[in-house]
Each structure stands twice: as C-alpha cells, then as structure tokens.
Structure 1
Amino acid sequence: MNIDVSTMAPSHIYHLMTQTIVPRPVAWVLTDAGDANYNLAPFSYFTAVSSNPPLLMLSVGKKPNGDIKDTTRNVMATGRLVIHIAPAELGEQVTATSATLDHRVSEVEANQIELAELEGFELPRVAACPVAFGCTLFEIKEIGNTPQSLIFAEIEQIYLDENMIDRNSERLKIDALKLDPISRLGGSEYARLGDVFTVKRPD
C-alpha cells in the first residue's frame, strides 16, 4: 500500500504516524504554574537533539479549544522544567496526567503523585521516576498550521536511580532493563522493553 499524505486529513496522518513511528520515549514533564502549583503532563513527540549543549526537544500541541497547553505556558513564564523518564509500572499515572484540566489545577495533587528534591535544581522531581532531567528553556519554535510548539530544553542537572547503574562498566552505564521505560505506541497502546541485544559498530 502506498499513501499520498496530501489526500489525508491531519488527524488521520497523526494516527498513522503514531502507529508506525514506534516505540517512542515518553517525556513526563513537570512545570510550575506559580506558587509551587505543579503541572505534570506526558509527551511522546520527544527526543534528544544535541549533546553540546545537552538539549532535549518535545513537541507540544494545543488544547482542544485552541489554547496553548499548560506546559508551554509555564515554561514560557518560568524557563524551568523537569523531564522524567517514567518506568512502565507508572503507565496508569502517566496516562492519567494527560487529562485536560484547568490551568490552576495540579495533576500532581489530583493524582496524589509524590515529589522529591532534585538536588541542585529549583523544581522537584517525581519520586518514583528513575531518571529526571532538570532543564532550562533554550528556545521555543512554532511550526505547522496549528501550530505546534517545539520546546528545546537544556539539561542542567540529572538524577539517576542508583539501582540501574552498572558499576562494572568503565564509564557510566545504565541498565536499560532496570530502567524499564514506558514506550508509546499508537492509540491507547504502550510497550516495555523485551530482549536487549548488542551489535558492535564498525570502526
């Protein structure tokens, strides 16, 4: 089957893309709406884009009524965000925080999510997540006809759960199976890691 995307509605293109570009990592993003009123939301249009400077990128759409989402609003106001890599066991909580709530309603409080200090950073982290990146806003680009907000976040601090660090490696190595990251598929489907294999890169 060959598909000419110019004949498709954007919503149909979205569903096709999200079912074929898989698995996708999930950024579980904490921001501050003001006075420690924390917003928490997942995004699977997410990736690493640079190591120098260390940049992560997430693509954030609009609310159903066309307003910018709270994550974008908060990052524009404060310049700070914490991006988590959530384990598969938190899939229910991650999905629950995708609900559209009023701007001043905290997903952290609504879902009784425990926070912990992120050492060296002014925002907290989700206590149950094995990876948290304390980031500052690097740049926001608006693209597309809707448009989407591409948020580029520069990493300042990284929290790593000690239990997933391989101490026998010459350099810092993370055990991917112990990290057990939740992976996004299409529709309401998620996945977790199965077999991990090694292929040596050519010299």
Structure 2
Amino acid sequence: MNLNFSDFSPTQIYHLMTQTIIPRPIAWVMTDSGEANYNLAPFSYFTAVSSNPPLMMFSVGKKPSGEVKDTVKNIIETRQCVIHIASKDDANLVTQTAATLAHGESEVAINNIALSDFEGFAMPRVAGCNIAYGCELYEIKEIGDVPQTLVFVEIKTLYIGDDVVSLDAKNRVKVNADKVNPLARLGGGEYSGITSAFGIERPE
C-alpha cells in the first residue's frame, strides 16, 4: 500500500501519522495556571532535541474551539513546566488528563493526583512518576495553517526515582527501563508498554 499525502485531509494525515509513527513517548506536562493551580496534560508529539543545551520539544494543537491550550498559555506566562515520563500503570490517569477543561480547572485536583516537592525547582512534580524534568521555556515556534505550537524547553534539573536507577561499570547513571515501565502512545486510543529491554553493542 502506497499512500500519497496530497490525497488526504489534515485529519486523515494525522490519523495515518499516529498509526505509523509508533511507539511515541509521552510528555506528561505540568504547568502552573496561577496560585499553585496546576494543569497536567499528555502530548505524544514529543522528543529530545539536543544535549548542549539540553533541549526537548513537544507539539501542542488547539482546543476543539480553536483556542490556545492551557499548557501553552501557562508556559508563556510562567516560562516553566515539569515534564514527566509516566508508567504503563498510569495509562488510565494519563488519558483522563487529556480531557478538555476550562482555563484554570486543574486536572491535578480533579483526578486527585498527589504531588511532591521538586528539589531545586520552583514547581512540584507528580509523586508517582519515577522520571521528571524541571524545565524552562527556551523557544516557541508556530507552524502550519492551524497553526501548531512547537514548545522547546531547556532541562534545568532531573528527578529519577531511587528504585529505578543504579550505577553502571563506568560509574554512570543507569536507568532500568523495565522498572520505569514507560507508557508509549500508539494510534487511536491504543497505548503500549515495553516487554523487556535488550542491549546491542554499537560498532566503534
């Protein structure tokens, strides 16, 4: 099957891309709507960009009404966010936080999500996540006809749960992916975890 994208609408193209770019990591992004009223939403157009500076990017569409999503509003105002890597066990909770709410309504409060202090960062983090990045806004780009918002953030601090980390033979941090059990996005309403991690030595 060969598909020419010029034959399809943007909605159909979105469907084809999300069915085939799999699995996709999920950025579970928390921002502050003001007075410690936290917004939490998942985005699967998400990736690492560079390590010097340490940048990540996630892409945000519009609300069904065409309004800018709260995540973008908040990060423009506060210039901060916390990006979490959720586990497979959090799949239902991650999905619930994808609901469209009025600005200022908190997914954290509605879903009774526990938060913890994030040492070295101004915002808290989701207590149940073993990986969390304290980030500052680096740059925002608008692309496309809608347009889509690309949010580039710089990592300022990283939390890794003690239960999922060890040191390798070179005394470097080794994260046990099986223990993190990261949640990944597939097409439609489908998600995936990982079966088991395996290693292959790269050539010199």
TM-score by length of 2: 0.98
Shift of residue 104 of structure 1? 1.2
Taking the aligned partners of 1:4 and 1:19, their CA distance within structure 2 comes to: 16
The one-letter amino acid paired with 2:174 is K
Taking the aligned partners of 1:179 and 1:66, their CA distance within structure 2 comes to: 36
What does 1:1-203 align with in structure 2 at a 5 Å threshold? 1-170=1-170, 171-203=172-204
Taking the aligned partners of 1:61 and 1:79, their CA distance within structure 2 comes to: 19
Shift of residue 19 of structure 1? 0.8
The one-letter amino acid paired with 1:173 is K
Shift of residue 195 of structure 1? 2.8
The one-letter amino acid paired with 1:122 is A
Taking the aligned partners of 2:197 and 2:34, their CA distance within structure 1 comes to: 42
Taking the aligned partners of 1:59 and 1:169, their CA distance within structure 2 comes to: 37
The one-letter amino acid paired with 1:132 is A
Taking the aligned partners of 1:73 and 1:60, their CA distance within structure 2 comes to: 11
The one-letter amino acid paired with 1:22 is I
Determine helix, strand or coil for the equivalent of 1:132. strand
Taking the aligned partners of 1:88 and 1:64, their CA distance within structure 2 comes to: 27
Percent identity over paired residues = 55
Taking the aligned partners of 1:29 and 1:139, their CA distance within structure 2 comes to: 16
TM-score by length of 1: 0.98
Shift of residue 82 of structure 1? 0.2
Taking the aligned partners of 2:169 and 2:32, their CA distance within structure 1 comes to: 37
User: Paired residues, what number?
Assistant: 203
Shift of residue 166 of structure 1? 2.2
The one-letter amino acid paired with 2:173 is L
Q: 1:168 to 1:49 in 2, by over 3 A?
A: closer
Q: What are the Cα deviations for residues 19-67 of structure 1, in whole angstroms up to 9, with x where unaligned? A: 1100000000000011111000000000000000000100000000100
The one-letter amino acid paired with 2:194 is L
Shift of residue 169 of structure 1? 3.6
- Structure 2: 5+ residue stretches without partners: none
Taking the aligned partners of 1:62 and 1:185, their CA distance within structure 2 comes to: 20
Taking the aligned partners of 1:133 and 1:196, their CA distance within structure 2 comes to: 22
Instruction: Say what the alpha-carbon RMSD is for the aligned residues.
Output: 0.7
Shift of residue 168 of structure 1? 4.3
